[in-house]
Structure 1
Amino acid sequence: MSKETLFALSLFPYLGFLWFMTRSGKTPRLALIGFYVLLVFVAVTIPAGIYAKVHYGEALANVDWLHGSAEFFLTISNILVVLGFRQAILQTKKP
């Protein structure tokens, strides 16, 4: 199985994860937004990878400005997830 196929197939379990996390109503809102921003990262990375291959003849990882721009969305996603769960922990510690 190619890495591209595996990448495409991995989207379905993640969408299921998002569906359950959203339906549960127990996930901190900011963290949930962070999990959804990860989909933005995926949506940006795919065309960026295609552009890198077509325009530069390189893999996305070898085109620094393009790779860094795509990774920005992963960083934002991670920050939102951490801040969301941090906020939830702090709220449970309040008297």
Structure 2
Amino acid sequence: MERNKTIEETKDYIGMWVTKDGHIRHELLPNNRYDEARGNRKSAYQGSYKITGNHIDYKDDTGFTADGVFKDGVLYHAGMILCKEKN
């Protein structure tokens, strides 16, 4: 039986992740950096991230840390639910 690959293995995390109302937008860049927009405020938070399996650890440039998990194509982070924006 073939096991499901983690998001770390597929690299499907790269791209824009958005809340349903579009207020929060996380752009996960291929260089392990992220840029978060909130409402009309572009680049509200920026920093680095690390993917381990289906888990993400964030560290913004001020030192604040947070984490999340990818499950069934959805990113659960700090009480938010983000879906990957389709191209």
Give TM class, smaller chain. Answer: under 0.3
TM-score (norm 2): 0.23
Which protein shows a greater Rg? 1
Greater relative contact order (CA < 8 Å, ≥ 6 in sequence): 1
More strand per residue: 2
